[in-house]
A and B are shown apart, each in its own frame.
Chain A
Amino acid sequence: MLKRYLPHPLLTVVLLVVWVFLVNEISVGAVIFGLILAVVIPLITSSFWQDRPRLRNVYGMCEYGLIVLWDILVANVVVAGLILFRKTESLESKSVVVPLDLTSPEAITTLAGTITMTPGTVTIDLSADAKSLLVHCLHAPDPQSVIDDIKNRYERRLKEIFE
């Protein structure tokens, strides 16, 4: 019964909270309208969520978020230095191939998004069988160290969260 009308309880809670934050006040009207949205949207989209992964590792998710934020800060300063003080010709821009151990689509999407949001690296493609990511680096004199960084810092933690 509950499963049928609330196929995705976590999404319902997130939608309700985001709606109340968007309205920016806790009033009866906001909560009621938020509840309507939070029940209807998961019902409509439930067919897209059939094999969704179970997220239980809350500690792992917090650790991952903090590490990504810290890396974004550090990489911002590094890339700012590259843009300001290096001649464009001396930048070694190249594409590197990152072989993936992750299998779930959600985990790969999160990894690709993380790589893009970290300055200096942009995910530009995925192999058709979803086993390699093509990552473009602004300045990578040593491509292997970029691959090791991505695999050790992000992929290993995502594997613990999603699989």
Chain B
Amino acid sequence: MPFVVELIISLLIVIGGAFLLIGSFGMIKLRDLLPRLHAPTKASTVGLGGLLIASMLFFWIERGHFTIHELLITLFIFLTAPITANLIAKAYMLLNVDPNKDLPPSKQDEGWATFDPVGPEGYDPSEEYQEKET
């Protein structure tokens, strides 16, 4: 394997590892859940991306067979990670956030979907939420 390729692969692994480390460090350093959500999005983009590209290059040039699995892993992560983050945020908001005090108004006819979903006629989930408070 030529030296330049070795260098590129090592650099990608080091960069990916560094971003994974910074992402994990952010999870410890940031104190609230919502800022903490930002750490894993870093880790799962450049951190994982660097490692996956390095793996693809290594098996392609060193072992001589081309694999596409790494691209599929990236695709699946891009499809699933935003949904996970959104569900975690929604669960956190239902437990800890008061929609009247802590959130900016939506500036539309309806409120935020987590607190003010469009339910069946006569059902208003926000009442249920207020009852829990008292």
Residues in A lying within 8 Å of B, measured CB to CB:
18, 21-22, 24, 72-73, 76, 79-80, 83-84, 88, 91, 93, 95-97, 99, 112-113, 116-129, 131-132, 134, 136, 138
Residue of A112, A118, A129 near B108 (CB, 8 A) is: A129
* Whole-angstrom CA separation of A91 from B29 in the bound complex: 12
Q: Given A117-B82, A124-B93, A128-B110, answer yes or no on A80-B38 (Cβ-Cβ < 8 Å).
A: no
How many contacts between A and B, using CB within 8 angstroms? Answer: 127
In the complex, which residues of chain A have a beta carbon less than 8 angstroms from the beta carbon of B83?
A: 113
Q: Contact residues of B with A, CB < 8 Å?
A: 19, 22, 25-26, 29-32, 34-35, 37-39, 41-42, 45-46, 67-69, 71-72, 75, 78-79, 81-83, 85-86, 89-90, 93, 103-114, 116-118
A96 neighbours in B (Cβ, 8 Å): 104
| Complex: A128 Cα to B124 Cα, angstroms | 13
B39 and A125: CB pair below 8 A? no
Contacts of B41 in A (CB 8 A): 116-119, 122
**Max chain A C-beta neighbours (<10 A), residue from B37, B85, B103, B114:** B85
Q: Could you tell me the distance between the alpha carbons of A80 and B89 in the complex, rounded to whole angstroms?
A: 21
**A129 CA to B112 CA in the complex, in Å?**
9
